[in-house]
């Protein structure tokens, strides 16, 4: 799948399971950091591509982020190879261009104009490598905003997500890097589409995936709501719910549980489970429309009943009765989640310091298989000699 006919398919490890992965033989060069670009590369790597992460001397600074960024590198850089190149030097840029020439895809997510200043942009590289597929992960697609620097939090504010998430007058960002992660996903989707098109045209193309447009896509249902009703949608905490019972309740010992009863049958079942016949038999609550009309009073009455139920006793009863429910889980609790472990979605990975950590796999199966961890998290420059030797062999050929 490479850009030059002499290189043929990527030389992978030869593992039987890896060879069976759909992107085996695809070679990707990744000039990325933080979350968005690395997510795209990780998805391609998990699906079988050989992803070569180009790091600066000393390594990607994402490796050493503190606080809420401490888990970024481990979360989004598995199944990759690490090569150290100083692309700010002529020698490093020349080596990077040689590496691109033996590859199918380039990924980047640096500030606007940086790759162009280094001669590593799509317009420059595609003249030499017309089969190249090039993914730029950006803050904004072309338009009035495209030169702005963007962060996940910036576009959450601009794209309607923070407004819809927080209480009225208190915009609140989502508790994770939703746009960075989804932006990487859309970049990977673009790669798959471009590969398919290249089979027909023989040419690559540039793909752009952007944080702002990603966030607006997440808000699109609320935009349509306004278009159809003429009424600005209220923030989610202030919304008029379509269902009467669809909320978080505080149970005994101050444990919290979300419960959703979205049909008349489910409401009656819930009343039976929590032993509240007075609610089931109240004519004012006989259908969903009536219940929505008196929703605040209904939720208060339900809350009084539920305060006397223990979460560990009520949860299995709700599950057996088919009532949607959810405990309010924290991230640290998910590391021991029985479903994640049993379904194969949480597996060990050797880290770059020789330790081991459990990582979350892609949320999909392929023919019943979960694309998993095939190699340890790379140390800084661990594969530099291997990749440069392959480049030299390619030049000699």
294: left (phi over 0), alpha (psi -120 to 50) or beta: alpha
Query: Distances in Å between the alpha carbon of 288 and those of 45, 227, 267, 281?
Result: 48, 26, 9, 14
> What tokens does 326 get?
């959810």
Judge contact between 384 and 84, C-beta under 8 A: yes
Dihedral of the alpha carbons of 53, 40, 47, 392, in degrees to the nearest 10: -30
Q: Are 82 and 53 in contact (CB under 8 A)?
A: yes
C-alpha to C-alpha distance for 393 and 278, rounded to whole angstroms: 81
Distance CA 193, CA 203 (A): 12
For the chain, report the end-to-end CA distance as a whole number of angstroms: 17
CA dist 150 and 131 (Å) reads 30
Closest CA to 285 of 270, 274, 306: 270
**Which has the closest alpha carbon to 219: 184, 262, 266, 171?**
171
Q: 104: burial class by Cβ within 10 Å (0-12, 13-18, 19+)?
A: buried
> Residues 292, 346: contact at Cβ < 8 Å?
no
1 token code pair: 């799948």
Token couple for 314: 């009520």
- Is residue 63 within 8 Å of 32, Cβ to Cβ? no
* Residues labelled catalytic: 180
């Amino acid at each position: 799948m490479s850009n030059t006919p002499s290189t043929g398919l990527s030389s992978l490890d030869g593992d039987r399971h890896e060879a069976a992965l759909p992107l085996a033989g695809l070679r990707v060069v990744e000039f990325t950091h933080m979350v968005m670009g690395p997510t795209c590369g990780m998805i391609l790597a998990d699906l079988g591509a050989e992803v070569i992460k180009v790091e600066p001397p000393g390594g990607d600074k994402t490796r050493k982020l503190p606080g809420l960024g401490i888990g970024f590198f481990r979360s989004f850089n598995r199944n990759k190879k690490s090569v150290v190149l100083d692309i700010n030097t002529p020698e490093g840029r020349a080596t990077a261009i040689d590496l691109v020439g033996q590859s199918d895809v380039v990924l980047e997510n640096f500030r606007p104009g940086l790759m162009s200043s280094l001669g590593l942009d799509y317009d420059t590289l595609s003249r030499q490598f017309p089969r190249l597929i090039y993914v730029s992960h950006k803050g904004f697609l072309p338009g009035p905003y495209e030169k702005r620097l963007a962060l996940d939090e910036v576009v959450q504010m601009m794209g309607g997500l923070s407004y819809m998430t927080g209480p009225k007058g208190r915009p609140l960002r989502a508790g994770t890097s939703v746009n960075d992660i989804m932006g990487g996903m859309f970049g990977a989707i673009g790669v798959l589409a471009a590969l398919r098109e290249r089979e027909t045209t023989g040419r690559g193309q540039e793909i752009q995936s952007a944080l702002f447009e990603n966030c607006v896509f997440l808000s699109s249902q609320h935009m349509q709501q306004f278009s159809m009703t003429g009424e600005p949608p209220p923030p989610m905490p202030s919304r008029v719910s379509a269902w009467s019972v669809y909320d978080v309740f505080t149970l005994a010992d101050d444990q919290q549980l979300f419960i959703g009863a979205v049909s008349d049958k489910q409401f009656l079942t819930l009343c039976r489970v929590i032993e509240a016949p007075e609610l089931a038999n109240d004519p004012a609550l006989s259908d969903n429309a009536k219940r929505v009309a008196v929703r605040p009073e209904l939720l208060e009455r339900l809350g009084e009943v539920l305060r006397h139920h223990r979460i560990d006793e009520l949860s299995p009863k709700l599950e057996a009765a088919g009532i949607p429910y959810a405990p309010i889980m924290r991230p640290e609790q998910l590391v021991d989640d029985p479903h994640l472990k049993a379904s194969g979605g949480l597996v060990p990975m050797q880290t770059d310091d020789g330790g081991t950590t459990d990582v979350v796999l892609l949320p999909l199966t392929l023919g019943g298989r979960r694309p998993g961890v095939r190699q340890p998290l790379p140390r800084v420059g661990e594969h530099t000699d291997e990749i440069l030797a392959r480049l030299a062999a390619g030049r000699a050929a």
